[in-house]
């Protein structure tokens, strides 16, 4: 069984309860002890004795587990449903010092419904110490691809960068203290350096796709090893005299949840000529605002949309010593969610960002484009989650006031009371009790109450 304890700020342990079963977190114990608890349970149930004593169990290293749930942290962790249109697990090969493990019961095409617990998987990492386990978890979460169902990877990935979590300063009030509501968790907040890095990554992806769409081959052909050839992709620009396949001046704009305002970065990107046999450039040089250039390397994204980028930044200031010293040496995994004529939707550190790529002239004119107005939802009550209408507490024509219960939506074995946010009149009830509703489906429509006549 599993003994649950509580620990106070002084590290005092208090007995909470005893469960005669495994807990969801049992892989953590298995990782640090090297014992298979499920196997041992079966053997004990068959009448066998444990082949060891308590004193012989030695904990080694550090392990942690993340529950990957079909829930939306941007909407107060409300449950979500849908079909897993794309489901790709992170690499679970054992590294030199780390282990990545995924316990899951779903696969691509599986349906997450309102009738069962919304847990998709348990992701467990192990390392020689806590920092190594966290680093492995970051990498695994960045490479975990889930499409078709909203999930909490954006939240748990952000926790892996939280200063208090990194320091081990964690209590049962962690979410309330670090993501106070309102507004609650709003997505990973890009630092200035992260924003500039994402702009650079988007620019080299843009260059690769431009090459892919327009493979350049001089009419007179190219020369390889002294021989003229009429080959295509493998010979793109191999004779470029300055090693540059193509360059561009761009303005990259990033927008996303949690950002106070869009980030606009002008930059210059140069694509180096492909290596012999390559189809597309894999080496690039990116310059931004006079800062040392980024020497970046990346292959095209995988079929699932995983884009792995590495880059170095070298000291180019002759007055600084030593010249050519490595200022940054970084590897980054970005997920390409979608591509449009104007840019991409990219996910970094678990959070999606809309990236728009423009030429300087188009960026200059973009400020004259009208801003799309958000749809007004103030006259409707919409379901915050997929579920079933359990009850409706009002009638059409009824005057309702702030805080009054309007209806109850049942989902994932929980009843969620929806209340009135402003004084109104119920104009229409387009749903009925027992009806299934989707996220944002209209449950009630409101009309403004008539203003009282003014005196003279």
Q: Is the dihedral of CA 189, 192, 198, 202 positive or negative?
A: positive
Q: What distance in Å separates the CA atoms of residue 331 and residue 334, rounded to the nearest whole number?
A: 10
- Find the helix or strand (DSSP H, E) in which 265 lies: strand 263-272
With beta carbons less than 8 A apart as the criterion, state whether 206 and 360 touch: no
With beta carbons less than 8 A apart as the criterion, state whether 405 and 389 touch: no
The question of whether 71 is a catalytic residue gets the answer no
Residue from 60, 64, 51, 4 nearest 32 by CA: 60
Cα distance between the two ends of the chain: 78
Residue from 94, 344, 329, 332 nearest 206 by CA: 344
Residues in the chain: 456
Residues 6+ apart with CB under 8 A from 73: 152, 154, 155, 184, 185
208 Cα distance to chain centroid: 23
- Between the alpha carbon of residue 456 and those of residues 122, 451, 452, 453, the distances in Å are 69, 15, 13, 10
Active-site position among 4, 17, 108, 316: 17
- Between the alpha carbon of residue 188 and those of residues 88, 92, 256, 259, 265, the distances in Å are 22, 25, 9, 9, 19
With beta carbons less than 8 A apart as the criterion, state whether 245 and 233 touch: no
By annotation, the residues acting in catalysis are 17
């Amino acid at each position: 069984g599993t003994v649950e304890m509580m620990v106070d700020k002084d590290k005092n342990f208090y007995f909470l309860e005893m469960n005669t079963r495994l807990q969801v977190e049992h892989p953590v114990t298995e990782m640090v002890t090297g014992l298979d608890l499920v196997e041992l349970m079966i053997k004990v149930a068959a009448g066998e004795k444990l082949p060891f004593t308590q004193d012989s169990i030695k904990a080694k290293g550090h392990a942690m587990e993340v529950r990957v749930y079909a829930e939306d942290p941007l909407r107060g962790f409300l449950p979500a449903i849908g079909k897993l249109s794309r489901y790709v697990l992170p690499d679970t090969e054992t590294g030199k010092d780390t282990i990545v493990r995924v316990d899951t019961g779903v696969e691509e095409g599986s349906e997450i419904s309102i009738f069962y617990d919304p847990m998709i998987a348990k992701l467990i990492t192990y390392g020689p110490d806590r920092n190594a386990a966290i680093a492995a978890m970051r990498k695994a979460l960045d490479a975990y691809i889930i499409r078709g169902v909203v999930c909490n990877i954006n939240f748990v990935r952000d926790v892996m960068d939280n200063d208090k979590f990194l320091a081990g300063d964690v209590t049962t009030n962690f979410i309330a203290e670090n993501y106070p509501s309102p507004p609650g968790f709003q997505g990973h907040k890009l630092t200035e350096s992260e924003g500039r890095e994402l702009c650079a990554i988007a620019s080299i992806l843009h260059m690769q796709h431009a090459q892919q769409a327009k493979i350049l081959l001089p009419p007179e052909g190219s020369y390889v090893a002294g021989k003229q050839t009429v080959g295509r992709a493998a010979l793109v620009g191999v004779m470029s005299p300055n090693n540059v396949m193509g360059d561009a001046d761009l303005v990259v704009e990033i927008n996303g949840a949690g950002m106070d305002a869009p980030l606009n970065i002008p930059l210059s990107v140069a694509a180096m000529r492909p290596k012999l046999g390559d189809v597309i450039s894999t080496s690039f040089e990116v310059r931004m605002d006079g800062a040392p250039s980024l020497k970046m390397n990346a292959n095209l994204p995988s079929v699932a949309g995983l884009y792995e980028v590495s880059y170095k930044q070298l000291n180019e200031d002759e007055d600084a010593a030593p010249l050519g010293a490595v200022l940054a040496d970084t590897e980054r995994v970005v997920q390409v969610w979608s591509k449009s004529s104007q840019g991409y939707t990219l996910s970094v550190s678990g959070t999606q960002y809309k990236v728009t790529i423009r030429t300087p002239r188009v960026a200059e004119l973009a400020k004259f484009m009208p801003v799309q107005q958000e749809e007004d939802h103030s006259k409707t009550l919409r379901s915050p989650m997929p579920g079933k209408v359990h009850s409706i507490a009002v009638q059409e024509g009824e005057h309702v006031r702030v805080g009054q219960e309007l209806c109850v939506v049942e989902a994932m074995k929980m009843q969620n009371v929806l209340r009135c946010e402003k004084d109104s009149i119920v104009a229409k009830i387009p749903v009925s009790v027992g009806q299934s509703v989707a996220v944002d489906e209209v449950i009630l429509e409101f009309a403004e109450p008539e203003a009282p006549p003014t005196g003279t």
